[in-house]
Amino acid sequence: MRSSTLNQEKLELLHNAPWGIIYPKLVSHAEWEIDKYSWRAGSLPKGHTAESIVQEAIQKTLSEDRNWDPERGELLPWLKWVIRGEIDHLYHSASHPEEYYILEADSFEDNPPAFEKLEYDANRQLPDGHEAKSAEERTVLAETTRRKLDSLLEACDGRPELEEVVEALIGNKCSPEAKSLAEYFGRPVEEIYQRLRALRRRAAKIGTEWTKHGQE
């Protein structure tokens, strides 16, 4: 049962939280999660933005619709966990037949450290032991592959630093790892991370636009 008011400790923590610092971190996290899904699924959660999802997570925490327990974890990881849950829910409640990856959404309240494990199996296109055998599955996989590769090429337009990364990987010049790319280009790995983030973001955005127009 909810208490009629927030307890004093929690209230002070919420009042004193550095929201000006936390908020951009949360928006960045929401964008990151959306990029992750939209690259794979080729779509965005309809009617939502990263910021609207962040605001909903904050609102639910302040109203105690989602009950943050300060003794079980700090505010920032808690809010990130709520955001991931919201985005996961939005994607899974929509129909994304071209994607089959699975999120293991453990409960923060039941098992506080579990939010750290909230990762999807990156290498799975299909569930374990399931190969795309049917004609329909093969078609979906081929379309997804085409969308990804075409959107990657499109994402490089006007960005030579992204283009050389895509060319190096498609041309099999080095292994598909950030460290190998850093060695190949003789650049710091942090710079390669930044290029890859931009590349995925742009490709995901282009891919979702194509999916959207294809559905219209």
Q: Which residues in this chain contact other proteins in the complex, by CB under 8 A?
A: 4-6, 8, 11, 14-15, 17, 19-29, 31-32, 36, 39-40, 50-51, 55, 58-59, 62-64, 122-123, 125, 141-142, 144-146, 148-149, 152, 169-170, 172, 176-178, 190, 193-194, 196-198, 200-201
Which is closer to other proteins, CB of 200 or CB of 216? Answer: 200
* Structure token pair of residue 26: 């949360």
Residues 135, 124: Cα–Cα separation, whole Å: 19
Least separation in angstroms between residue 103's CB and other proteins is: 13
Which is closer to other proteins, CB of 79 or CB of 108? Answer: 79
Residue 114: HSE in the Cβ half-sphere, 13 Å Cα cutoff: 13
Three-class DSSP category at 120: strand
Least separation in angstroms between residue 192's CB and other proteins is: 9
Residues 39, 113: Cα–Cα separation, whole Å: 27
The residues, ordered by sequence, that sit 6+ positions from 50 with a Cβ below 8 Å of its Cβ are 27, 30, 31, 34
Least separation in angstroms between residue 122's CB and other proteins is: 3
Residue 113: HSE in the Cβ half-sphere, 13 Å Cα cutoff: 0
Which is closer to other proteins, CB of 135 or CB of 216? Answer: 135
Residues 193, 179: Cα–Cα separation, whole Å: 9
Which is closer to other proteins, CB of 108 or CB of 203? Answer: 203
Least separation in angstroms between residue 123's CB and other proteins is: 6
Residues 90, 11: Cα–Cα separation, whole Å: 29
Which is closer to other proteins, CB of 93 or CB of 123? Answer: 123
Least separation in angstroms between residue 177's CB and other proteins is: 7
